[in-house]
Structure formats: structure tokens, C-alpha cells
Chain A
Amino acid sequence: MSDQPIQIPRHLLRQVEKPARYVGGEWNSVVKAPRSPDDGFRTRFAFCFPDVYEIGMSNVALHILYHVLNSRDDTACERAFAPWTDMETGMRCLKIPLYTLESKTPLAAFDLVGFTLQYELACTNVLNMLDLANIPLTTAGRGPADPLVIAGGPVVFNLEPMADFFDLAIIGEAEEVLGELIDLYRASCPDGRRPPDWDRQAFLARAARIEGVYVPSLYAVDYHPDGTVRRIAPRAPGVPAAVTKRVVRDMDSAAWPDKPLVPNTEIVHDRMFLELFRGCPRGCRFCQAGMIYRPMREKKAATLVGQASQTEAATGYDEVGLLSLSTSDYRELGPLTDCLLNELTPHHTNLSLPSMRLDSFTFDLMNKASRTRKSGLTFAPEAGTQRLRDVINKNITEEDLFRAMELAFQGGWNGAKLYFMLGLPTETDADVAGIAELLDKIEAIYRALPRDKRPRSLAMTVSTAVFIPKPHTPFQWCGQVDLETVQRRQQILRNHFRNRPVKYQWHDAKTSYLEAILALGDRRLGPVIQSAWQRGRTFDAWDDHFDLDVWLSCLQDAGLDPDFYARRNRAADEILPWSHIDCGVSETFLRDEYERALAGQTTPECRLACSACGAASFGGGICFDR
């Protein structure tokens, strides 16, 4: 494949929406010569995000790994995103292959093509990008000159539906493994150039020995006649029976982009970010991130303050987002926000505080969040009754919610956005009515405040998502509720909030159904994804592009039952399709949590008591500094 830069004709860029997505040239982007003075030819890595530019550029992993890879003199990392349909049509029509933004080089000329899989519904976009790049879709179809196609991100904790399409995946945090993988790759490439007789299989067999590297083709999967998994076994000696995820043990010394890319066009999270910690101490039972990123590992406030001023100077951003799974659980949040406000306010830089927990929302924090620019408040009670919140281990009470809302009203906010889930295990219509009651009580709290102590109007928002059982969570054995039930419960809320100062938003139950199928799926879904893509499916995460019927008909053609994947309660002794992937949290712990959920018993968070989930085996974080 030619590695000559692509010329993108002006007439194409003039006919597409937002051409700035396709031309690169961002501040801090890195363009390297093909040859390094010291290390021969550079290994070319195309970092691919299977959605549009504005979404991909908002992804933290992209910025961190771009920095990690480009910090190596022997490696050049460039970026590619999924072109929107208008650009795709133009590219196909003009036979322009998918290219990277930095050097406009066709993806097929890269040594490695790495996708970050952040959500299951991006799977058809991966195939579409490979196809646009003229790269064979399956690992089986790739020859010695084709790129090594790799995956990372949360979805790889069950990569099985996408297993056919990737040569390997990195399970867990990639900062350190990627370096080991590139070292191994370069060892197979004299002077940095891939030899014409490069042996992919031999390379993959060696790569499978790196901790955290999963090579799907090196595992055989057999099924029982009822469709459940009978056996997952390594095909060759030296291939581990289970792949354990990688974690970065010490966050203070973890690689951090000191010069992050600054987009020229507006992106979804258009601000610089500070990563307060990885993992989460809380243990909400529906939350995959809360399990797969264990243990909780914090950065020191001093580290973060240093990174903030460095990044601010390097980017010119005027807003800092604090990033974590539960911001208010950061131990040094008070001192950190004080320091940041002192440093940043003189430069008119704002602080954005997402992911606040209701039980730790304080007057102090609220004032800090409103010091510069008043953004909306969002909280996630997740369920409408205490019973159901106990089932999901969301350890907050309605008093927490009412106290936080009263504070917010007194602080000048006229409302908040509250996130709930529908279809949680054991949920009944009464739990959904509980959501309506919570909002009625909030309205009463508002009305009870003296007129001069509250904003003039009340504007609450309620948003409901549909619960999707996810691998590696205590609810991985649960089936999803049926569409009719979800729609009935949405209707309960729609009826209730009509003519009230509450705006009700809900996620489409059909999209969540497909997401459950893909999240809980096995390798037999590979051909289904491929045929759905062949029948025109891309951008499935975009409501106006989504078409469940095509997917159902592809499943039917493959002789597969969607409800087998999405709606079936799994037996305790069933071999789950992802059971050879070890996220550090033991199946015993997950099963125990599942039983406790059904019994309505809560489990304390990591800082109060260790529940021996297994994440202590990684040797760091909260398991040791509690």
C-alpha cells in the first residue's frame, strides 16, 4: 500500500459538514519524519476512534496514548476518526482511502492500527473504517503487509463479538503494555521496517505472552447444543488460560500528556482535563467501570495542581474538567479545588465538577463550582426507591437528594438533571412511581423555601436510561427486561411529569436492547456484525441512524436468538463468553454481590471495609492505603 500523503480535493471538503474534522493541523499535534536519526524507520501507529472527530477528541485515552506513543523516538502515532456519512460517500466516490490527520497517510501503510472501543454500538464503525482503509476485515484474512489491527478500551473486557476482526487486544490500561508491544514488534522489523515475509502468527504467539495482551485467535471456543459456552481453551502452549488486565499502579508517576492536542473546532468536552483517580470505591452493582477499573488509585493533589498549570499554559483552554468516576470521593478535593481556583481564576479559567455524589455535595463545593461560570448540576440517584437503591448498592438516601437540592436552590440553581435507570433487576412499577414521588417532594421543597431564598422558577430534568447488564459486574447473570415493560414504565413517567416543571428525557429501549446483545455476546456474533455492516449499518449509537430491524434480521439469518443474549438469566455455573478475561475482581465476589443484591443487602465501599473483591492482587491503590 502506498504511503504517499492523500490530497483531499477542495470540492470534497466544500461539500461536507464541518470540514475541520478532516484536515488536522491542531495545536500540539505531532508530525514525525518516517526515519529517526537514531532508531531507523519509525513504527507507525494509527490511533483510531470509531466515531466522529468531536466525540473521539473528547476521549481521554486518546490524549494519554498519543502522548505515550509519541514520547518514543522510534514511534510515530497519528489519528483517524470515523468520517461522517457525507465524507464517507465522497471518499468512496473518489476512491480516497481512510487517512490519518497528521500526515494524511493511508491507514493501510501503518504498522499498527489501534482502535479504542468505548461502547459496543461503535462496532460497525470499526468495520467501516477498516473497509475504507482497504484493510482486510478479519485477522484470518490479513497478509504479511497488512497492519496489525489491535483494540483497547472497556469493550475489550468482552471482545468476543468482535474477536474475528482484531489481531490482538490490550486488556486494561494500555500505557505500559503498548511500549512492551512496540518493543516486541520492532524486534521483528530490522531497521524498523517490516520484512516482506513477516509472520503475523509467529508475532501473535509471542505477543500473547505479554501480560494483558489477548490474542483471540489463539483460543478455541466450543458451545453446548443449547448455545451456552462449553469450553474456552488456549490453542497453543505458552498461551495463558486467562488474560489478566494491566493496571498502572502508581498514578502520580503515570504518563500524562503535558502538551495535549487542542482541537480547532468545537468538540463535545471542549476543555482540558485532570484525572483525579482511576477506579471507584463505591461498588455500584450495575456499573462496569466501577468493577473493571479497580482498584481505586488516586493522584496526589500536588501532582494535579502541577499538571493543571502546565496543561493550561500548553493549551490555552479556559476550562478544567475534573475527571473520575466519582469526583466527590476524591480525598483531597477541598485542598485541590482551593488550589486550582487560586491558580486559575486570575486567568479567567473555570472549573467544571462533574460526577458529584449526592451524599457529598456540600455548600463549599457548590460555591466553587459556581465561582466562575454556572454550569448545570447533575446527580445520579439511579433508582426511585430505597429498596431498589439497596439492590444496586447505590448507597445514597432520599434525604441526601433533598438536602442537595435544597442547597442548590439556595445557591441560585433553579434545578438539576437527575439520572435514573429503568429495568434494573427486581424493579417493579412501584419503584418507577418512586421516581415520580421523589420529584414531587423536590417540588415541595422548592415551594417551601421563602421566595427571596429560591430562584424564580423551577426546572428539573429527569433522564432515564435502560439498564444494560454488563460483563464483569454482579449483574452479568441478569437478563434485560423486555421492550414492552420499559416502554410502559417510560409511559408512567411521561404521564406523571406532564404539566409539571420537570422535563423528562428517555433513552430508546431498542438501542439498549442491541447494546445488551453485543455486550453479553459471544463469537458467533462476529458474522452478524459483519452482515449488519454490509447491509449499511454504521453509527448505530446515533438514534437517527439506528435500525434494529436490520440487526434482528441478520441475527435470524445466522440462526441466533437475540433474547438468548439479552434477556436470559444465566445460571451460576455457566461458562460466560468472557470468562477467560480476568479483570482482577473474582467471579466469587461478583456472584456473592449478585446474591446480596437479590437479598437487598448493601456492601460497604472500599474505604469503609474491604470486601476482598480480588483487586488487591494488583498491589496498589486503595487496597493498601486505606
Chain B
Amino acid sequence: MTVSLRMAFSRREPAIWLAHLDMMRTFERSVRRAGIPVAYSAGYNPRPQLAFALPVGVGIATEADWLDIRLDETAEANAAQAGVWCAALNDHLPPGLAVHSASLAEDDGPSLMSRVQAAAYRLQTPGLAEAADRLNQTAADLPWIADKNSKGRQVKIDIRPLVLRWQSEATDTLLVTALAGSRRNLRPDLLLQVLCALGGLDELAAADCQVTRTRLWLDTLP
């Protein structure tokens, strides 16, 4: 039985500008610097075995994200040691990345990624609450069609069914809970697109929007 170190982590400026492959590379190197006994994949080009719960788009911050670091079979893993590794990793992460807690997880169940069900986002930009109200008033029961670039092709998708609930917190803040995961996933930029098209949100405000994923739900819907 192999064991993984399950870490809760966050990413803020400037790390929000890393693409997913950059995140992988950056965490791999940080894990190596921290001296965590990570397991390597077999084969031609062995890589440290890291698994992210749900990669997030470039320009999006996260507050409570999950990452599994599979430990080498020879590693002596216990709760106290997990805490030591968590602290060591924190000392070796570049600015903007931090780990908050670590626990041990046995690698017998489904992958972390396949367990993700939903995510919460906080969007912040001027005029957001007003645009959300307008969208609610005028198009609550209509499809919310967004243009999505899928494998180089533009496709139109209705994102309305992906949004579970939302509420505005201040004039510039919107809290959104939406389906997430490898099957059905709301991309926050598509919601902003709809808020522009149907809610009258200013395009520049949308492009400047601060987007933070605040929570992930595993196994169950919120």
C-alpha cells in the first residue's frame, strides 16, 4: 500500500500567473528542495508523483486547494512527520504558494481529481453585483450561452446548469458555487463572459476581475 501526503495549499500573486504545467514543475522542484521522500513514476522518464485535485486556470487564485504527493515506499510516514514535511515544503515554495496542512491518505480509493464535485469562487470587480442582478432579472430562466474554445474550435455551451447558487456580498463581489471536476466544470471566465453579454458588465472590468477559488467539495455536492 502506498501512502500520499495530502496537502491543502493556496496560490496568490504572483503564482496565479503560472499555467498548470508550471505549477507541476514548481511543486516538483519545491518538493525536491524540501527533501520530501516523493515516489517517482516508473519508466523511461521518471517523474515525481504529484496529483492536483483540480488544475485552475491562469490568473486565478486559490485559497483551499488540494495536492497529493505520493510517498516513496521506504518513507516512514506518520502524522507528526507529515507536519514536518508540510513545514519543510512551506520553507521551499516560491512567493505566492503556501501549504496549510498535511495529512496522510492511503492510495487505495479513487483519485483526488475524480472525487471533486463542486467549487466555490469569489469574483471581485466593479459593477459585478449589479450585473448579476440584471442577469437574474432578465435571463434567470434562459440559457446562459458562452463561447468556449475547445481543442481549437469555438463551441457554444450553456453554463446555466453548472451554477448551483450565487450571492453578491458587496457591490463588487460575487460568491459563486458551481459544479467542478473532470466531467462538468464551470470556468469562471465563461461566467464573466455571460455577465458581460447578458448582465451588462463592463468588458474591461471583467478582464480585470480578481478570481479566487475559495473551496472544493470532494465526494458530495454542497
Contact = CB atoms under 8 A, between A and B. Distances in A.
A10 B210 contact: yes
A190 interface: no
Interface residues of A, number: 29
Interface of B: 13-15, 17-19, 21-22, 25-26, 28-33, 40, 44-46, 48, 58-59, 92, 94-96, 204, 207-210
A316 B30 contact: yes
Contacts of B94: 25-27, 262, 264
Given A9-B208, A11-B204, A314 B33 contact: yes
A456 interface: no
15 contacts: A11-B204, A11-B207, A11-B208, A14-B58, A20-B18, A23-B13, A264-B15, A264-B25, A265-B18, A265-B19, A266-B21, A316-B32, A316-B92, A373-B44, A373-B45
A53 B28 CA distance: 21
Interface string A425-440: 0000000000000000
A14 B59 contact: yes
B53 to A, nearest CB: 20
A27 B26 CA distance: 9
A318 interface: yes
A333 interface: no
B59 A13 contact: yes
Contacts of B46: 348
A25 B92 contact: no
A20 B59 contact: no
Contacts of B59: 10, 13-14, 19
Interface in A13-54: 13-15, 18-20, 22-27
A13 B17 contact: yes
B29 A20 contact: no
Contacts of B29: 27, 262, 315-318
A264 B207 contact: no
Contacts of A262: 29, 94
A384 to B, nearest CB: 34
A318 B14 contact: no
B93 to A, nearest CB: 8
A10 B18 CA distance: 13
A315 B207 contact: no
Given A10-B210, A266-B22, A23 B31 contact: no
A313 interface: yes
A447 interface: no
Contacts of B25: 264-266
A387 interface: no
Given A13-B59, A264-B94, A20 B17 contact: yes
A15 B206 CA distance: 12
Contacts of B58: 14, 19
Contact of A313 (B22, B26, B33, B96): B33
Nearest to A11: B207
B19 A20 contact: yes
Question: Most A CB atoms within 10 A — which of B21, B26, B92, B96?
Answer: B26
A23 B17 CA distance: 8
Given A20-B18, A264-B94, 13 more contacts: A10-B209, A11-B207, A11-B208, A19-B59, A20-B19, A24-B14, A27-B92, A27-B94, A316-B28, A316-B30, A316-B33, A318-B28, A348-B40
Contact of B207 (A10, A26, A314, A374): A10
Q: Identify the 10 closest CB pairs spanning chains A and B, nearest first.
A: A316-B29, A11-B207, A316-B32, A23-B14, A25-B14, A316-B33, A19-B17, A25-B95, A27-B94, A11-B208
B42 to A, nearest CB: 11
A315 B44 contact: no
A264 B209 contact: no
A231 interface: no
Contacts of B44: 373-374
B208 A315 contact: no
A193 interface: no
Interface in A309-335: 313-318
A373 B43 CA distance: 10
Nearest to B59: A14
A9 B205 CA distance: 11
A321 to B, nearest CB: 16
B35 to A, nearest CB: 8
A314 B32 CA distance: 10
B22 A265 contact: yes
Interface in A339-358: 347-348
Nearest to A10: B208
Contacts of B208: 9-11
Interface centre among A11, A313, A315 (most CB of B within 10 A): A11
Contacts of A14: 58-59, 207
Contacts of B209: 10
B30 A264 contact: no
A347 B31 CA distance: 12
A264 B30 CA distance: 10
Contacts of A313: 33
Contacts of A10: 59, 207-210
Contacts of B32: 316-318, 347
Contacts of A266: 21-22, 25
A18 B210 CA distance: 18
A189 B130 CA distance: 55
Nearest to A13: B17
